[in-house]
Amino acid sequence: MLPYPLRQLRDACDTAPLTPKILFVPSRRVGHLLTGSLARHGVTWTHLRVTTPVALAYEWTQVEIAVTGGHRPTIDEQWMLAGDVVTTHADEVKACYGTLTASTSQVLLQTLIDLRLAGVTPSQLRTAGKGQEPLSILLDAYEQRLMVMGGWDDAQILDRAAQTATTSPPKTDQQYFILDETEMTVRDEAFLRALAGGSIQRIGRMDYGIDVPTRWAHHQLSQHSIPGHDASYRVAPDTPAPMPRSALIQGDLFLDALLDQRQPSPRLHQTTEVEVEIEPAGRLLTTGLQEQEADRLRLWQATGHESEVRAVLRDVLDHGLVFDDVEIAFPTTHDTYLPLLYDAVSRLDLPVDFTCGVPITLTRAGRCLRAFLDWISEGLDGHVLIAALRAGDIAWTPKQVTVAEVTSWLHQGRVDRGRDTLSQSLRRVAATRSGKAKDLHDRLKMAEEHLQMLVDFVPAETEITLSELACCARQFLQAMAPANQTETEEETDPHGAVQMLCRRLSDIGSVTTTQKAPQARQSQCLAERLLSLRIDAREPCPGRISIAPIAQSGYSHRTHLYILGLAESHFPSPVSPDPAVDDEDRARWSMPQRRERSQGDTAHLIRLLGVAHHVTLSAHRLVLADGREPFPTPLFSQVARQTQIRPLWQRPMAQRGLGCDDLESMLGQRSRHAYSDMVAAAYPNASAGFAASRARGRGVTRFDGWIGADVDAFSTIDVWSARMLETLAQCPRRWLWQDGLRLNLPDDAPRDPRRWIQPMEMGLLLHEVFADFMRYLRERNEIPRADHASILTSITDTALERMQAQIPVTLHTAFNADRQHIERAIAVFLQAEAERFEATEKRHVMEVERQFGDPDDPVMIQIGARPISLRGRIDRIDHVSDSDTSQVEIWDYKTGSTFGFDPSDLLAGGRRLQWVLYAMAAEQFLPDNSTVTKSGYFFTSDRGAGQRFAAAPLTRSDLERVLGPLIELGDRGLFPSVHKAGASQPCRFCDFRRICASEALDGRGLTDRRQTMEQWTGLVEGWAQTKTAGRQQASQVIEARLAEAGVSVSDVGPADAVDAIEAWINS
């Protein structure tokens, strides 16, 4: 059956084929869809023109507009005028809307447009009372600005066209038609009545079963005729009468008993009018549905929005539906479904046309502009720029420098907010790497130049106009958008987003405004205006699926219609009142009422049901993100009751079909016995990871730190530091990853916002202050005294100034707190040193910050069979005797607490090696008559309270006895996550704790592993024997036995691996 709108247009064209006809539609897009549907269904529309009331009015007035020097302002220009009104009349705006936000200009503009289209003047608002004086001032200011710029908005165009039509002789040889759902404002209605009088006809239905919005043509022109429909024809006796509209309220949609009330509608006067012939589903709220009509309807319930979308596409593909016959509708004002639909059709590579367009933020240009405006709104925050660069939203063009490098440099340089912070952060990085290759500094310079180019796009003034910001944004987009393109413009910008955004930015920038505001506020306003746009709206073409909002659906009249989002949280659309003009005043002035939006959504849904041959209604019953369980909309439940249809569940896991991608097809077979083999074949790396997880922690395998006896991990280290050896002793696995493989975290550790400098940076600063102070005293042959406090303070101030040049102060409270912490530390240091030097007369500072282990002066230490080249820097060497044998002490500053240090066991089983290694190194470069009598740690901060933990140095044999088993472990390729200090203690501050903290063990966990290794190594030996004997079947049985545990023959470590680990723990 031909859909009723097309049938009515066909009748109109057939009745008077040579008479010019004009059809008024809600929008030009709807008109294009309707004419395309006429052609698709083979309906001729001779002399039929499709337009909107305002478009026809503009044709009538455009000559007059041009003669008077005026122009029709774009919506962006009107928004700019509204924004100027908001800036200049902030008090009145606050009186109407409460607070000023980025969307205030948009909301105010819509209110002003509604007022003007309703013919409401500022004087009417002033005399209306009810606190409308502020709104009258805003309307008057807007109209004055519109007049100054010579702008003819839609209200003025319609008003002038109505005057012209009234004075012009009527065209008796022209017919006029209008769609029921066309919204007619007061000025629209005045123009159409002046143009057509009472001869205009409706295209639609006699009754939708509900009260439609009062500004719809169906309501305003309810007495006008419908082409091809005889209103005087009475209903056949066996045809059920319409339901009373007074009974059909929201709460009664569940009451099927109302269908038995066959009373005539009070709006149908003296005769019972014949309803337009429609598809059965369209009678939902009039005569009701019958059970035998259930074959035309399907009801779906889905577990989440994604399941709704994927279920529709699967159904289309699995049933082999012709794409020309498929239309997918979603709630008009809900933003969830459109991105999901766009992503799903892109993944399945389906040919679709979005009649409403796609969100601009789904395009490269839209993301680029959003990142630029977000960066400005955050005060040029470098971290926002880093996120945009890493996401690819802002392109990085220099090929010599990668995005990973420049973002890492910005982090290391402590980037902050401001125009100069990017350059300053890179210069700080360059200063810390002054000795590096020239190529690094060239690349830093190149990165700085490109970042400065990005900054130059931002206006230098702190307060700017929207026009200035729009011009800068357009220049930025034109410069940066081509960088995202790799091939042709059609391939990289298929939606034409760059051109559209640049055009809109040009329109905004062309409006002259003098009112300035902070950059952050202007960027938020501009983002609110542009980033909600949709782009690349297309008419449904042959061979392509049509996707449209519910309000724009049904005009292509496709056979299969899928309607998504019929949950009570999504449909009808939620209504937000207008704070400036409530619905009572809107009704008084014949303005569109906010509360009628839900009526409009419901009426559009009923319209859709009346034109689609096969309808699928879908409602999500579970929100996977937060676990909410919304109910279906009452209309959904009404269909289920009338047709006795039981809704089908659409779940994320689907059966195998054409509409499934590889992952969904595999998940659909998860109950099969061979499912694990399918997963392993499709995802071999993930399968190997699962196998490793099963094997890890049971024995000593390549999943537990065994890298093989033929791999010399120590050979990767040319020069060792004390920190490396301590890491090896604390956790061999951590040493393998951190030093052997040189693995680093992908991002720098987050900085504590309550601190100016982090603990490591503070430690470096204090070391620098103590070294400079002791050098000062040594040059003057002095010892620390209490009266040196002013000198130490001066040295500290100088160091703080240098540190501020590297790390800018953004929060003075944090800076003051850190400064006080530093001042307490230097006071503790001076007091402890003054008391110590005073107690020992022969003590003096011998060397400060003594470096050793340079390539031209290596320091070698032998541990077992492994020679180790050692490098480091001793904080201080003190001379404590004037005898022939010079006695010296080695001290290392610790600016933290004494946590983890035990003065009775300074070596800590080999985990505290710095004091021992530095003493051995000093013996190699000190004079021959010098002897290191003591070595230890000096806790210089207030948390350490000036304590000293020291001991006599170990002999080489003692050190070899402690570290020998550890070096033997590494030589055999064993790097287990084994800890002497307890299973989990070293993991507290480890960068890799998320990976292997659960696998850490101490001596108590070796018993079970020993038993497992005895079994596995026995199997490996048996496998080797069967291979030698050529017993293929027996060897396969052993391999299968090991595979059950997740290991293979080559994965199992040596038989005495557990003994080696135990020897290290007991050393």
Reduced 3-state DSSP string for 921-984: HHHHHCCCCEEEEEEEEEECCCCCCCCEEEECCCCHHHHHHHHHHHHHHHHCCECCCECCCCCC
Fold of domain 292-357+538-648: Rossmann fold (3.40.50)
In the 8-state DSSP scheme, what is residue 532?
A: T
pLDDT tens per residue, range 1025-1057: 998 888 888 888 888 888 888 888 888 888 888
In angstroms, the CA 176 to CA 602 distance is 27
pLDDT value at position 494? 60
pLDDT > 70: percent of the chain: 91
pLDDT value at position 273? 52
| Residues 302 and 308: beta-carbon distance below 8 Å | yes
The residue ranges of DSSP E strands in 498-592, in sequence order, are 517-518, 534-535, 545-549, 560-563
pLDDT tens per residue, range 369-401: 999 999 999 999 999 999 999 999 998 988 889
Average pLDDT value over all residues in the chain: 85
Tokens 């004086």 locate to 133
Q: How confident is the model at residue 154 (pLDDT cuts 50, 70, 90)?
A: very high
Task: Supply 678's token pair.
Answer: 């399918």
Q: How confident is the model at residue 962 (pLDDT cuts 50, 70, 90)?
A: confident
CA 424, 429, 431: angle at the middle one, nearest 5?
90
Report the pLDDT averaged over residues 74-101: 91
pLDDT value at position 701? 85
Statement: residue 707 has pLDDT above 90: no
Q: Model's pTM, two decimal places? A: 0.77
Q: How confident is the model at residue 997 (pLDDT cuts 50, 70, 90)?
A: confident
Ranges 390-399, 542-551, 671-680, 725-734: which has the least confidence? 671-680
What count of residues does the chain have? 1067
Report the pLDDT averaged over residues 343-349: 88
In angstroms, the CA 1067 to CA 910 distance is 9
In angstroms, the CA 887 to CA 873 distance is 20
pLDDT > 90: percent of the chain: 36
CA 341, 536, 596: angle at the middle one, nearest 5?
70
In angstroms, the CA 205 to CA 182 distance is 13
Higher pLDDT, 168 or 547: 547
Report the pLDDT averaged over residues 335-342: 90
In angstroms, the CA 625 to CA 795 distance is 56
| Residues 586 and 592: beta-carbon distance below 8 Å | yes
Q: In a 3-state reduction of DSSP, which class is residue 443?
A: helix
In angstroms, the CA 837 to CA 844 distance is 8
In angstroms, the CA 268 to CA 282 distance is 19
Three-state SS sequence of 792-848: HHHHHHHHHHHHHHHCCCCCHHHHHHHHHHHHHHHHHHHHHHHHHHHHCCCCEEEEE
In the 8-state DSSP scheme, what is residue 493?
A: -
Statement: residue 1004 has pLDDT above 60: yes
Kind plus residue range of the DSSP H or E element containing 366: helix 364-377
How far are the Cα atoms of 9, 74, 462, 472 from residue 469, in angstroms, in the given order? Answer: 49, 18, 11, 5
In angstroms, the CA 478 to CA 484 distance is 11
Closest Cα to residue 301, out of 651, 655, 649, 653? Answer: 649
Q: What are phi and psi of 517, to 5 degrees?
A: -150, 165
CA dihedral of residues 666, 672, 677, 678 (deg, nearest 10)? -20
Cα 1054 to chain centroid, rounded: 48
In angstroms, the CA 945 to CA 899 distance is 12
pLDDT value at position 235? 37
Q: In a 3-state reduction of DSSP, which class is residue 608?
A: helix
Report the pLDDT averaged over residues 244-266: 40
pLDDT value at position 250? 40
* Residue type for position 423: S
Tokens 């419901």 locate to 602
Tokens 């009748």 locate to 11
Report the pLDDT averaged over residues 258-276: 44
Closest Cα to residue 246, out of 256, 230, 258, 229? Answer: 258
Q: How confident is the model at residue 122 (pLDDT cuts 50, 70, 90)?
A: very high
Q: How confident is the model at residue 9 (pLDDT cuts 50, 70, 90)?
A: very high
Task: Supply 1005's token pair.
Answer: 């966990």
* Residue type for position 463: E
Q: What are phi and psi of 459, to 5 degrees?
A: -55, 145
Q: How confident is the model at residue 70 (pLDDT cuts 50, 70, 90)?
A: very high
In angstroms, the CA 508 to CA 502 distance is 10
pLDDT value at position 925? 85
In angstroms, the CA 721 to CA 1036 distance is 48
**Domains in the chain: boundaries:** 73-151, 230-272, 292-357+538-648, 360-379+459-533, 381-457, 699-745+977-1065, 755-839, 842-975
In the 8-state DSSP scheme, what is residue 856?
A: T
Statement: residue 265 has pLDDT above 50: no
Report the pLDDT averaged over residues 199-212: 91
Closest Cα to residue 319, out of 564, 666, 658, 655? Answer: 658
pLDDT tens per residue, range 548-597: 999 999 999 999 999 999 998 889 888 888 889 988 989 999 999 988 98
Report the pLDDT averaged over residues 851-872: 84
Would strands 872-879 and 844-852 be described as parallel, antiparallel, or unpaired? antiparallel
Task: Supply 595's token pair.
Answer: 């509360």
In the 8-state DSSP scheme, what is residue 434?
A: T
CA dihedral of residues 692, 698, 701, 703 (deg, nearest 10)? 30
- Helix, strand, coil in percent for the chain, rounding step 5: 50, 10, 40
Kind plus residue range of the DSSP H or E element containing 327: strand 326-330
| Residues 636 and 563: beta-carbon distance below 8 Å | no
In angstroms, the CA 22 to CA 45 distance is 11
CA gyration radius, the chain: 40
End-to-end CA distance of the chain: 92
* Residue type for position 561: L
| Residues 292 and 610: beta-carbon distance below 8 Å | no
In angstroms, the CA 709 to CA 972 distance is 5
| Residues 737 and 743: beta-carbon distance below 8 Å | yes
Cα 52 to chain centroid, rounded: 39
Higher pLDDT, 355 or 254: 355
pLDDT value at position 184? 94
Neighbours of 402 (CB within 10 A): 13
pLDDT value at position 657? 58
* Half-sphere exposure for 237 (CA within 13 Å, toward CB): 0
> 398: Cβ–Cβ under 8 A, 6 or more apart, which residues?
446, 447, 450
Statement: residue 429 has pLDDT above 50: yes
pLDDT value at position 373? 95
In angstroms, the CA 299 to CA 636 distance is 8
